């Protein structure tokens, strides 16, 4: 079976040691508590999708506040979309996260799930190519992109805000009157897959996580071997600031899904493409092998690059319906 990475048999055994800092668990306990305590101030703006039997809304809610915004300031407004059945009742919910530098899944692409009796929410990551604002302040400069924004300190790192925003999006969905909070799934591709892993680790709400070709995995190996995509932003930054290597790796350790993976206990299905040079397959296996869920599976595609095969999109669809529909 071809691969640009380790042989498949070796990847199946690849389980690098965790490299958590001593305050890893308190750091996340405090961040999650802050994210859940902060009011959402959610707004759902009706949107005429003209889809029979469905109702659509543009979504806005307050982004996670961070250092410098805690005293009455704002974390910016986070944007997204929400499509639900028009009929009354309690429906399962799915939260979708998007890929790096992209934008939230749009309403037409949410219809397939919504027509099956599901409430579907998507979220724009702050400051990327959607409508979400990033009102956080970062103490110094960074390499172009978002991977090194605030990297000097885990409390001000960009992905602390994004992980917290992703948790808050799921909370918005769970608290809707028409949503059955006991039947929730999360999914996404690339960065969205990484967020699906992180949220599954940090929240007890999802009963199903479907991360596709996930990003934000096994940073130490990824920055050594990934020739393209977002990971090279980190070595490019450290080329300018070689003295920050240790502190940068320390910051990244809090957000590496490798270190979060043991907290993932819900049913999890991961896709992994063996010619992927953006999210190298070994980095995904490294995270997968640390997931403690009783029910987990990784589906490998030997000839695909950074993409999700149609066949796996069907797998995802079937898994959601099987897990969420009564």
List the catalytic residues.
Answer: 190, 276, 306
What is the 3 state secondary structure string of 24-86? HHHHHHHHHHHHHHCCCCCEEEEECCCCCCEEEEEEEEECCCCCCCCCCCCCCEEEEEEEEEC
Of 227, 200, 184, 157, nearest in space to 287 by CA: 200
Which strands make up the sheet holding 296-301, listed edge to edge?
43-47, 54-62, 77-85, 119-123, 91-97, 179-189, 208-212, 267-273, 296-301
* DSSP SS3 for 193: helix
Query: For the chain, first and last CA: distance in Å?
Result: 39
d(CA 98, CA 106): 10
Q: Which two tokens stand for residue 70?
A: 């805690």
What is the 3 state secondary structure string of 128-174? CCCCCCCCCCCCCCCCCCCCCCCCCCHHHCHHHHHHHHHHHHHHHHH
* DSSP SS3 for 277: coil
């Amino acid at each position: 079976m071809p691969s640009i990475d380790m042989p498949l048999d070796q990847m199946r055994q690849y389980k690098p040691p965790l490299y958590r800092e001593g305050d890893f668990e308190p750091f996340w306990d405090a961040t999650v508590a802050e994210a859940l305590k902060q009011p959402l101030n959610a707004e759902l703006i009706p949107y005429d999708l003209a889809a029979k039997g469905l109702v659509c809304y543009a979504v806005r809610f307050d982004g996670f506040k961070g250092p410098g915004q805690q005293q009455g300031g704002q974390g910016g407004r986070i944007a997204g979309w929400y499509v639900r059945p028009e009929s009354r009742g309690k429906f399962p919910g799915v939260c979708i996260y998007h890929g790096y530098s992209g934008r939230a899944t749009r309403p037409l692409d949410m219809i397939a799930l919504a027509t099956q009796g599901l409430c579907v929410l998507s979220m724009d990551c702050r400051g990327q190519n959607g409508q979400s604002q990033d009102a956080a302040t970062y103490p110094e400069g960074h390499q172009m992109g978002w991977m090194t924004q605030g990297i000097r300190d885990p409390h001000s790192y960009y992905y602390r805000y994004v992980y917290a925003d992703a948790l808050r999006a799921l909370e918005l969905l769970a608290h809707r009157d028409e949503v059955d909070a006991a039947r929730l799934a999360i999914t996404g591709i690339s960065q969205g897959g990484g967020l699906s892993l992180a949220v599954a680790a940090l929240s007890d709400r999802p009963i199903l996580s479907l991360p596709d070709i996930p990003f934000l995995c096994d940073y130490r190996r990824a920055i050594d071997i990934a020739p393209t995509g977002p990971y090279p932003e980190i070595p490019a930054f450290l080329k300018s600031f070689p003295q920050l290597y240790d502190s940068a790796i320390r910051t990244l350790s809090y957000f590496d899904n490798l270190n979060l993976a043991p907290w993932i206990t819900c049913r999890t299905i991961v896709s992994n493409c063996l010619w992927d040079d953006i999210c190298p397959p070994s980095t995904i296996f490294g995270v997968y092998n640390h997931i403690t869920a009783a029910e987990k599976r990784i589906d490998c595609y030997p000839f695909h690059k950074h993409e999700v095969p149609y066949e796996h999109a069907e797998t995802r669809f079937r898994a959601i319906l099987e897990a969420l529909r009564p």
